[in-house]
Amino acid sequence: MRLLLVEDDDHVAAALSAVLARHGFQVVHARNGEEALRALLPAEKEPFSVVLLDLGLPDQDGYEVCGKIRKRSAIPVIMVTARADVRSRIHGLNLGADDYVVKPYDTGELLARIHAVARRRPPGEDTGPTPLAALRLGPVRIELPTRRVSVDDHEVQLTRKEFDLLALLAQRPGVVFRREQIISEVWRTSWEGTGRTLEVHVASLRSKLRLPALIETVRGVGYRLVPPSA
């Protein structure tokens, strides 16, 4: 069983990897959130059966990493943290973690929990290659798991909402998305008060990507993404 261990403390990771290896796990170690997300990109290899995710990471919050993993994959995630309070646990579980283990933990208990979550979802069931991991539209490349966007191989910095908006439209190029639909999917809120926000984000995307024709306004309806001609 392949296990992704996300842990920035090398000593902890080494000790845990040794224990896990003794119990038959093939452990891949990621030292930060970015490495973790990269390791989960579709590959030729056998998919991971479970992710052990430390919440205190140097580059991004473990909760954030969990949310990003969950957006693209149903792989079981066990959060490992020193934060024992109930609110932290609830927050983690709300973000889609399958289980939550508080440090210091008993190794036997951790192993039991790993087996329990891995059993719940047979390996490969939804951890296989995610076809939408990266989208390419002419010069625009959108990497969904890492939320990176580049145009002609130059990375473009987008805000969270700008990315969500672009990713939404890009998943169905040419299809018109109604304004209400975009607002509910990107802002997770109702129509009221956000109409202008949407305009602003569209304008900002057009200018940041330097492709003013990429997102077309469909008057009175919404927007659609027009793939740049190859």
Q: Which two tokens stand for residue 202?
A: 């569209």
Considering the complex, state which of residue 54 and residue 143 has its C-beta at the smaller distance from Ca ion: 54
Considering the complex, state which of residue 37 and residue 142 has its C-beta at the smaller distance from Ca ion: 37
CB of 80 to Ca ion, least distance (A): 9
Helix (H) / strand (E) containing 55: none
CB of 64 to Ca ion, least distance (A): 14
Q: Which of residues 25-54 bind Ca ion (CB under 5 A)?
A: 54
Q: Taking CB positions, which residue lies at the least distance from Ca ion? A: 56
CB of 88 to Ca ion, least distance (A): 14
Q: Around 26, how many Cα atoms within 13 Å sit in the side-chain half-sphere?
A: 7
Burial class (CB in 10 A: 0-12, 13-18, 19+), 139: middle
Cα 40–44–46 angle (5° rounding)? 70
Q: Which two tokens stand for residue 203?
A: 């304008």
Q: Which stretch binds Ca ion (CB under 5 A): 5-13, 85-93, 174-182, 217-225?
A: 5-13
Q: Judged by CB under 5 A, which of 1, 2, 8, 150 binds Ca ion? A: 8
Q: Which of residues 131-160 bind Ca ion (CB under 5 A)?
A: none
Residue type, 146: T
Cα(205)–Cα(161) distance, integer angstroms: 10
Tell me if 173 contacts Ca ion by CB under 5 A.
no
Considering the complex, state which of residue 53 and residue 165 has its C-beta at the smaller distance from Ca ion: 53
Taking residues 56 to 95 in sequence order and writing x for each that binds Ca ion by CB under 5 A, - otherwise, the string is x---------------------------------------
Angle separating helix axes 107-120 and 10-22, nearest 10 degrees: 70
Considering the complex, state which of residue 12 and residue 116 has its C-beta at the smaller distance from Ca ion: 12
CB of 12 to Ca ion, least distance (A): 8
Place of tokens 């990375």: 155
Considering the complex, state which of residue 100 and residue 177 has its C-beta at the smaller distance from Ca ion: 100
Q: Which of residues 181-220 bind Ca ion (CB under 5 A)?
A: none
Considering the complex, state which of residue 8 and residue 34 has its C-beta at the smaller distance from Ca ion: 8
Contacts 24+ apart (CB under 8 A), 202-207: 202/165, 204/159, 204/162, 205/158, 205/162, 205/165, 205/166
Interface with Ca ion (CB under 5 A): 8, 54, 56
